[in-house]
Amino acid sequence: MTDSTRTILAVYVVWHPNYSEGSKIAELVYEHFRNERHKNVLGNVELRVVFRSSPAPNAALPPAIDLDEAETTAIIVLAESKLVGDSEWVDYIHNLAGRIKSRGLGSWLFPVTLKKKGLNIKIDEQALRWDRWKVTDAERDQRLIRELVYAFSLMLRHYLEHLRHPEEDDNDLERYLKKVQIFLSHSKHDSYGERIAEKIRDWLHKNSELLSFFDRIDIPAGVRSQNVLNHQVKASAVMAVHTDSYSSREWCRREIIEAKHQNVPMIVVNCMTDIDERGFPYMGNVPIVRMDPKATDRIEVVIGRLLDEVFKDFLWQCRVELAGRSNSDTLFMPRPPELISLANPALISFANAELISSQALPADTEVAAPTIVYPDPPLGAEEEQLFEKIAPHVRLLTLSQWLAEV
């Protein structure tokens, strides 16, 4: 058990005090990463977002950044002409880059070139080229957050692997560079389900580093479809494109059930045009994002929301790994439990499970009183009463409640 008050990720935003727009960008980062979603999966421990612009007392530069205050540290440098034109500030950034380089993959520097002159800061780290994003101000803000969420997800995934396999090389760049995959679950039995999925897939290939799984294209000949789909769901974040015929299709329902059993990150994209005769009950308990099926003009929004779920899931897994799994009768779930949580027939050894997300609840014949631990806040009384009626032997605790016990 580690210090439960130590945050997993500290984010610093660094900019020159004479750059007037710096505070607006810093506030954008602050508002996104300090929201309740992230706090809830950490057991009410917030992510740290710290600004470095104002000089320290009796100094020309901000205070030094402590790279040991959190499990991982991300430093965003807003690079533009005022910063690169100040030699003391350039030295400050170079010194910071040198300290990070000596520490392996636990701390990262992310330059954001607000103007092309920002490249003159001359550090080795690949920059986010804000200056090349020819979009509206709102779209530029969305893209910056989306790119940072993805980058921080890779950081956390690498850190999680280090926690699980500390004997392996912490500087394994190949493992860090492995791309996140999105499973596009959709129906082909209406006029637009497949078209929407194809548009999302095309957008991913043109505008992101993300991989996609699209069954019509990505299932090899001669391989059993069910085996491929189950494997790909387990290895992906799932985006369910909910069109009018979606709930009526057996394969769509199978994909959702498998995603729930595997506890993978998932969102539902609401693309309904008329009526769903029988809404599939297991599509709930995840974020639902509306997108007009004809305009499909919110692809960036739905991708960003799914990436938030990926980031949140890695935060959760890191938090649970650090907290320690003290009992073999405890199941850690990255979202609030629902009745399908009781239905997974697989009995996996908790002590030796490779992935927390693949754990299954022990049957009551195996463990007298299993416990489900899930992110804050607690379920409502009406949901807890339903669990009590159906599975009275199961205890439900939020992460903060469980931490208080152990």
Domain boundaries, the chain: 9-175, 179-319, 325-405
Please check whether the two domains, 9-175 and 179-319, share a CATH topology. Answer: yes
pTM score, two decimals? 0.90
For residues 247 and 254, what is the distance between their CA atoms, to the nearest angstrom?
10
| Residue of 120, 128, 155, 133 lying closest to 11 (CA atoms) | 155
What CA–CA distances, in Å, run from 306 to 167, 265, 282, 405? Answer: 32, 7, 18, 32
- pLDDT tens for each residue of 47-69: 999 999 999 999 999 999 999 99
pLDDT for 155 equals: 92
**In contact, 213 and 184? CB cutoff 8 Å:** yes
pLDDT for 44 equals: 82
Classify domain 9-175 at the CATH class level.
alpha beta
Name the stretches of the chain with pLDDT < 70: 1-5, 170-171, 173, 214-227, 325-328, 344-369
pLDDT for 357 equals: 40
Q: Which two tokens stand for residue 34?
A: 């300090």
pLDDT for 11 equals: 97
Half-sphere exposure in the Cβ direction for 169 (13 Å, CA): 6
For residues 239 and 193, what is the distance between their CA atoms, to the nearest angstrom?
12
With tokens 């979009």, the residue in question is 135
Q: Which two tokens stand for residue 400?
A: 């903060």
Phi-psi category of 222—alpha, beta or left, where left has phi over 0 and alpha has psi -120 to 50?
A: left
For residues 263 and 275, what is the distance between their CA atoms, to the nearest angstrom?
28
CATH 3.40.630.40 is held by the domain 179-319 = no
